[in-house]
Amino acid sequence: MKEGLTERMARAGIADYRAIPFSSCRVTFPELLSRTPELTPRSVLLYAVPYFTGDSENLSDYAAAEDYHLFFRDLSRELIEEIKLEYPGAGAVAYVDHSPIDERHAAAIAGLGIIGRHGLLIHPLYSSFVYIGEIVTDLDASLLPGAVEPSEPRFCKDCGACRRACPTGILSGKAGSDCLSAITQRKGDLTDAELDLMYRCKTVWGCDLCQLACPHTKRAISEKTIKTPIPFFQNNRTPHPTYREISEMPKDAFSRRAYAWRGRKTILRNLLAYEEREKADKNP
């Protein structure tokens, strides 16, 4: 079974994965486990999925590709099939983002990277431009590929680069501030100051400024290790969406974008404000 899972992940472009006992993880949302009461969690297979391409111009790099949940949906199904093929009757359930465990802590104690001051996992090759996927199983961790003994989580040196790059001050603990990424995803009306901030930071969705300022990211870019080898994140990209492009995008195509979960109105609001400010700058 180890070979089957290893081969499947290799075909998907995933080269870094670890398996650890579930008991070593921090359970943060136990209600998610209650949805599968037949599963008694004993192990977690964690894997890092790189997504960076560097071609994004006016939005976060993750949002230029299609919704990463689509990638994980298909991959998770195949990995679980591999597990059950080798161990009939084994229980397994996959998660990404909305997980019963603290994903960053679990990935760090498994040796997939260190935890940055910006709160993200920093992988040695891809910096923080990785998704963390995991499969919780009722198998012993030793039966899974990449089985390791958990260690204490390691943290970055807190050089301050991400705090200095943060446009809202939230990483420095500024009271009443919010992450720019969260602002771009907020429904309803935004203030002129918020829309101006989005334009100054050249984004209509998300924010990568703290990640790009990180020395680990700069090193990964200079050493050319950061770019994703996974076709899903290389293809069907919209690195510079426009108001017209998004407004005319067919419903089924729009539903596959990372910003679709907030509805078309939210991204169109941002694009309209961005393009109005861009036009004003060009024609003062």
How far apart (Å, rounded) are the C-alpha atoms in residues 15 and 78?
Answer: 16
Q: For residue 76, how many C-alpha atoms fall within 13 Å in the half-sphere facing its CB?
A: 18
12, two tokens:
């998907």
Residue 68 has pLDDT above 90, yes or no: yes
Given pLDDT bands bounded at 50, 70 and 90, which one contains residue 2? Answer: low
80, two tokens:
């679980």
Q: 3-class DSSP state for residue 215?
A: helix
Given pLDDT bands bounded at 50, 70 and 90, which one contains residue 1? Answer: low
Distance in angstroms between the alpha carbons of the first and the last residue of the chain: 64
Provide the whole-model pTM: 0.94
Using alpha carbons only, what angle is made at residue 79 by residues 78 and 83, rounded to the nearest 5 degrees? Answer: 115
At 224-254, the pLDDT tens digits run 999 999 999 999 999 999 999 999 999 999 9
